[in-house]
Chains A and B, each alone.
Chain A
């Protein structure tokens, strides 16, 4: 399946990926509203680790055998058998955060429930990749992940 890969040699720590992820996961899909007025405040599903010298965006690997899915106590976290995308169903998630603990990449974000990358739900190009100004994120067919 196609996955997002971070290339730290080109990551410039601008963190626009976070802004655009947040916008993509807002109701309004408007970057200013998403950040300034929308309630509840949308959550970015990826986050940049590091500083100007070394940084990269951490996001879900959509593992072949996802630890988060195994750890989920409600069945909210599922891997779509067709697309391979691992999605957290917010209706079912109770916020126990077992997935956060289980993820070996630290790619699931804790909030009142768990938030994670859904690859923009099958968009041709996820928002973070599309808006990365330096092609530090790429969306390509890769090998298997775990």
Chain B
């Protein structure tokens, strides 16, 4: 007996259904079943995760996925989610896992921040008529620029990386996502003049053509890390934590370690890939400094070294320490960021929103005169270009997006990444599913998303009377809060709307 009440219900319009069976063949969760004898189609609603592969592929748009009408007795306290979770745990005795981002209704500050526009006293700028610059250089900046007596540049610039738009693709490893998905992101990044991030999974040989736009990650498992790997990336990123699961390591189950993943990660086929919760050579800030400089030394000081942390209560002080430890770039990942797999309790309860962490870190770095020495990247659920503009105005140099990029490639946020059955060919290593993601199509869609956002950013900049993203960075006067408490406004460093 299964105690669980199906979450979703599939409605099939029999008048429209042509019984082509595409839904049956496309559903990896075996929701759709074709009767062998009659050819009639049925659904096992209990298996449905609302990934919408069937509704999208159905040539006659026959199918509707609805919330199940069969309900438990309503309770504000004992919601059906909590009841179902207990049923699942009672059955398995295990930690609940989930994919993607924190779905709980915590405040989303992006939606409570409004942007400014020019009226009368200064003109708004039309991005179609005037140059509108979104190029950003990331990497440590010198204290000052010096010239010799002939006016020649004397200062040796630390390694800088040019981004044509202030949006990069966040870390998603080969293993957590498919090679086709990674390839699509890499190609889109190359097309748009920005970067993608290998995650902790090494760089697959098929991605070598894109190495110039790769951020190579070094995480606690050190999977795929070699001198060659470090040399290939534009930026080396030390991953300390991830917004979706601060304080937690990673676990890629052995069944996902096929030949390709094994080669790229440099581990035997079929073994679990376990990234420890901490780096076991970093138990304190001085240890981080050693790793930062080991990586710089190993790559001859040619590449910026980035340190990524999850946004937690003490982020501001930690970030200040990271800047002093020699990092060129600090990445802050907010608690609404996605993941390929995380314990539900961690994902839903640990960490803080990126907006608050970003504002606090930027302010702290400025008060300690460190901000201009490091680049600051924000991550953890940038859903649209307005979120990006607000993030940069709060103080970020650029942002990372991941969920948005996956959505562009078909992800419907069903949060089943951890099952490895992704019907969209994204979070899976099953070859029958991976091939559903054609990099020719999906790289273009991902690139289109970046291009579209960049256009929108330019429109918003123009409205504010700004023609370079440089003048938006940290320009909090362009922001106003709406419906926020004084404490929240103080932390964000912004005024309330109407002030």
Contact = CB atoms under 8 A, between A and B. Distances in A.
A28 to B, nearest CB: 13
Residue among B20, B26, B57, B59 with max Cβ neighbours from chain A (10 Å): B59
A79 interface: no
Contacts of A12: 26, 432, 435-436
A135 B440 contact: yes
A31 B59 CA distance: 8
B438 A14 contact: no
A134 B20 contact: no
Given A35-B18, A53-B431, A53-B432, A14 B25 contact: yes
Interface string A8-23: 0111111110111000
Q: Which secondary structure dominates where chain A touches chain B?
A: loop
Contacts of B208: none
Nearest to B62: A32
Given A9-B435, A135-B440, A135-B441, A31 B18 contact: yes
Interface residues of B, number: 19
Contacts of A52: 25, 432
A89 interface: no
B18 A32 contact: yes
A135 B25 contact: no
A27 to B, nearest CB: 16
B190 to A, nearest CB: 20
Interface string B47-60: 00000000001011
A36 B352 CA distance: 55
Contacts of B25: 13-15, 52
A32 B438 contact: no
A133 interface: yes
A15 B432 contact: no
Given A18-B20, A19-B59, A35-B20, 18 more contacts: A9-B435, A11-B435, A12-B435, A12-B436, A13-B25, A14-B25, A14-B57, A16-B20, A16-B22, A16-B57, A32-B15, A32-B16, A32-B18, A36-B18, A53-B431, A134-B435, A134-B438, A136-B438
14 contacts: A10-B435, A13-B25, A14-B25, A16-B20, A19-B18, A31-B59, A32-B18, A52-B25, A52-B432, A53-B431, A131-B59, A133-B57, A134-B438, A136-B438
Interface of A: 9-16, 18-20, 31-32, 35-36, 52-53, 131, 133-136
